[in-house]
Structures are given as structure tokens and as C-alpha cells.
Amino acid sequence: MKKLLVLFAIFFTVITYGQKSVNDYKYVIVPEKFEFAKEKNQYQLNALTKFLLEKYGFSTVMKSAEKPAELQSNNCLALEADVQNNSGLFVTKMVFQLKDCYGNVVYASEEGRSREKDYKKAYHEALRDAFTSLEDLNYTYSEDPIVAETPKKESVAVSSTTEATNAAEKEVEDVEQNEMDVEDATIGATKGKFYTNDKALYFLEENESGYGFYQKGMAEPFAMLIDSDGSDNFIYNSLTKQGMAYFADNGDLVVEIFDRQAGKSVKTTYKLQH
């Protein structure tokens, strides 16, 4: 009887995990260092992993960063990112994995490859190639429908007049907030550091994820510099380009974009104005 109960428990566990998918997890934790690496964020692979996950719709948290309260109380709400290095002598090969809180592999990508000779270029190209598998996942976090419906049950009906008043007040608040945002951006431009490139003037404005990158006179940033590991390395993300960014020793901002068609990295330097 005991053996039967044990077998049933094992069978139930296997079935439960077999039904799990990436959509059951709200976060992905990205480590500062992969097992095959010699140092933290070597070749900026961990920062690139974080950036690519967010590109495909995942909410990411660096392992050493402060975690949301719900994740602190339930670590199994997150998957952990991992990269397996299967490289040979002439070909760089990488597989991206997502593991649950028990170390079980919930998802493994197709093997990404690169024949680049430069280590950094090869790792970046192979990792990006592996991440193309995520396009078929169409990841969307599946929230508990009971939790999602709770606010509806507790909501209190209001009159149409009150709703119209609230809507009008909300519209005014949105306009006022937009004006404040524009004003804040202008203040940031006048008080922050300026950078120049091709005679244009730029500035950075700090935010929760890193920096917004503005061209002077613009109210909205044209790119974001996302803090990846607490160092001076950032993920560069704009509407048309993705790459890495860092501050040079002299304070200049250097943006490095990998041009897949040309097969090489292209650097753009924004000179700090003293």
C-alpha cells in the first residue's frame, strides 16, 4: 500500500510539472554570472539575456537586485534564466534555458550558433540566434482568473453623472501630468550633462530602470539605457535598434549596436560636453 501511494505521488508530480508552461510564471530571474563564465556579466552576456527576455515580453529581475514583495514571499513565481555553452573549436553554440525554483528545465531553446572568431561577437550572435526560438512561445503571463475577477465583485456602482465627472477630472489630470513631464524633461536638459554627436545635443535623465536618452528639445526619450548589473554597462533600446551602452573613462557615452547584415558591431560615441 505504501509503495502504491509513493508511486501515485511521483506520478502526480510528473503530471503536474508536465503541464507547467512559461506562461505560469510572472518573472524571470537573471543571474549576474553564468556557470561557464569566469566573471560577472562576462562579454555582457547577462545584460544581453535580460534585454532579450524583456524584448519578448518577460518581466526580469537581476538575482542580486531587490525583488518585488510577491516574489520575496513566493520564489516559485519566477523562472531562472540559464545559458548552456556547447561551443566547439570552430563554432560557438549556445542554448538558453528557463528553470523553475526546483531546478527543473521548463523551457529550452533551439541551439544558437555563430562562426565569428571574436568571442564577444560570437557569444552575442549565438545567444541572439538561440532567442529566436522564443518568437513561437508568444509568452503571456496567465494570472489566476479568480484574483483577476475579485475587484469586479467588490466594485460599487456609481451614477452616470459621477462617472462623467470622474472622467473629466481624469482628463484634466492627464493634461496637467503631461505638461509636468515636458517641464521635467526641460529641467533635466538644463541641469544635466550634455552630449554631442553630429552637431546635435543630447542629455540623459535618470529613471527607475536606468536612463532616458533625449535629444534637446524633445519631450520624450528616443532611447532607453537599462541598468543591467549595477555597473556602467547598460542595455540600449530604441524603436529601431538594440545593443549595449557604456561610459568611457573620459565620460563619453558609447553605444554599440550589432549590425547583423554587415556582421559587425557599430559604435557611436556621444561626446560629453565639459
Is the pLDDT score of 2 beyond 70?
no
Is the pLDDT score of 154 beyond 50?
no
Q: What is the pLDDT of residues 62-76, one digit of tens each?
A: 988 889 999 999 999
Instruction: Output the CA angle 43-46-50, nearest 5 degrees.
Output: 135
User: How many alpha carbons lie under 13 Å from residue 206 in its C-beta half-sphere?
Assistant: 3
Q: How far is CA 38 from CA 10, 33, 41, 46, in A?
A: 38, 8, 9, 13
Query: Span 216-242, mean pLDDT?
Result: 81
Assign 229 a pLDDT band (cuts: 50, 70, 90). low
Residues 81 and 98 sit within 8 Å (Cβ to Cβ):
yes
**Sheet strands (E) in 163-209:** 194-197, 200-207
What is the C-alpha separation between 207 and 71, in angstroms, rounded? 22
Neighbours of 29 (CB within 10 A): 21
Report pLDDT for 4: 42
Residues 65 and 32 sit within 8 Å (Cβ to Cβ):
no
Is the pLDDT score of 15 beyond 70?
no
Residues 10 and 4 sit within 8 Å (Cβ to Cβ):
no
Portion of the chain with pLDDT greater than 70, in percent: 74
What is the rounded (10 degree) CA torsion for 210, 213, 217, 218? -80
Report pLDDT for 163: 53
Neighbours of 268 (CB within 10 A): 15
Q: What is the pLDDT of residues 76-119, one digit of tens each?
A: 999 999 999 999 888 999 999 999 999 999 999 999 999 998 88
